[in-house]
Amino acid sequence: MTVLAAMPKYEAYKDSGVEWIGDISSDWDIKPGFIAYSENKRNNKGLKEEKVLSLSYGKIIVKAKEKLVGLVPESFETYQIVEPGDIIIRCMDLQNDKTSLRIGLAENHGIITSAYLNLKVKSNFNPKFIYYYLHSLDTTKVLYKFGTGLRQNLSFSDFYRLPIFDISKSLQTDITNYLDNKTAQIDEAIAIKKKQIELLKERKQILIQKAVTQGLDPNIPMRDSGVDWIGEIPEHWELKRLKYVVSIIKRIIGYEGPDVLSITQRGIKVKDISSGEGQLAMNYSKYQIVNRGDFAMNHMDLLTGYVDISKFDGVISPDYRVFTSINKEVDDQYLLLLFQIGYKHKVFYGFGQGVSLLGRWRLPADNFNNFKIMIPPLKEQLEVSRYINDESVKIDNTAAIQQKQIEKLKEYKTTLINSAVTGKIKIEGNADDA
């Protein structure tokens, strides 16, 4: 990156002899990893420690007691003891997971699953420097060059002779302080941009709800709809029950669709069966046929479900509801916006029923058919749909720019850490002066 290119360099460089490291300062030496750390195996027999730690998104966090449910051991005596400054590495399954962050630096006393590798950093090395170095191997995917077995698991043998930089502890500390300072600034900039994206999403939802439920003319006379969730509507709008607007359909005549479909929060998608979404050998003969242009909704889970108009011909779970518009005076896109508001603002939830065995909240067919919606004249529906589409494109484009800037900041952070800990750029003195 241009910013890194302008940073100070060491006076002379030499070939490190390691392909993925490249050139390093001529004053730096490379030694095997065992000079910097050892494998830390401290068992928790007798329950010497009770605070349970977890590796999450590259951070070692304290796990709240109320979350110690599900896949937990019969006894935490099988866990290993962790001390501040230990480096924890999740070594399993590199082959199938190339996105997770696998390395964290402990800041608390506690215990963690013995399935993880625990490195104890030796006194002549700064634990944070070793962490930053191993973290850079994680984020740049160098770690995935190592590992053995079908699932490409790591072990201490992969770290025992891993190339480590033999530089003074004071220089390690200078680099660590510099990176602490700079990465904090980058993280703050990322957090600000994420907040801006959330505000844009919130603005978009407010815009959609207001346009769909009140129209585009702020001066239009209003009346009470008599429906709690709707409130006031323009006085010339109608209220209709869904059974006069749509018709539930169920086509189960064997598997004739070319694709198996599912409903996500982003809409209806085609399942990639070959990649594990669904089962190759599953009998789809009882699935419902969905035609392009049909509505489909997950009415079995009103908290996490969604609704969309299908862009595909295919089959979908028999637990979903498929329906089609039967009223020529109602625009499909306007109707879709109404349904999406129903999910987003938990409106359907108030008309649903609990399914105790599944722990879900569903919308029965009778409640669905008798659900009231507001219907403006068709011309206004089309105007509202166009307006929302145009404004949504503007907001989404602005959010996309912010997201692209976030990705560039993350890339810069990764490059900065890697360049600092491998001697590509010169770091010295106080981080605030760098």
What are the pLDDT digits (tens) for 73-113? 767 888 999 999 999 999 887 777 777 889 999 999 999 99
Q: So what's the pLDDT on residue 92?
A: 84
Helix/strand/coil percentages in the chain, nearest 5: 35, 20, 40
Higher pLDDT pick, 129 / 368: 129
pLDDT at 204 over 90: yes
CA-closest candidate to residue 290, choices 328, 267, 264, 321: 321
Query: Would you state the pLDDT for residue 434?
Result: 39
For 238-375, give the CATH class: alpha beta
Whole-number average pLDDT of the chain = 87
Q: Which residue has the higher pLDDT, 294 or 360?
A: 294
- Judge if 29-166 and 238-375 fold alike in CATH terms: yes
Helix (H) or strand (E) holding 373: strand 372-375
Q: Is the pTM of this model over 0.85?
A: no
What value does the mean pLDDT take over residues 372-389? 95
Residue 271: pLDDT band (50, 70, 90) is confident
Assign 392 a pLDDT band (cuts: 50, 70, 90). Answer: very high
The tokens of 379 are what?
Answer: 């011309």
Q: Which residues, other chains included, contact 48 with Cβ-Cβ below 8 Å and sequence gap of 6+?
A: 81
Instruction: Compute the Cα dihedral for 37, 41, 47, 50 and give only its sign.
Output: positive
The label of the residue with tokens 């978009």 reads: 204
| Residue 202's pLDDT band (cuts 50, 70, 90) | very high
Task: From the options 3.40.50.300, 3.90.220.20, 1.10.230.10, 3.20.20.70, give the CATH code of 29-166.
Answer: 3.90.220.20
Amino acid found at 179: L
pLDDT above 70 for 352: no
Q: How confident is the model at residue 174 (pLDDT cuts 50, 70, 90)?
A: very high
What share of the chain in percent tops pLDDT 70? 88
Q: Which pLDDT score, from 0 to 100, does residue 181 have?
A: 96
In the chain, where are the structural domains located? 29-166, 238-375
Decide if pLDDT at 229 tops 90: no
- Does pLDDT of 280 surpass 90? no
Q: How many CA atoms lie within 13 A of 224 on its CB side?
A: 3
Which helix or strand (DSSP H or E) is residue 60 part of? strand 59-62
d(CA 213, CA 231): 9
Band of pLDDT at residue 431, cut at 50, 70 and 90 = very low
Chain centre to alpha carbon of residue 328: 40
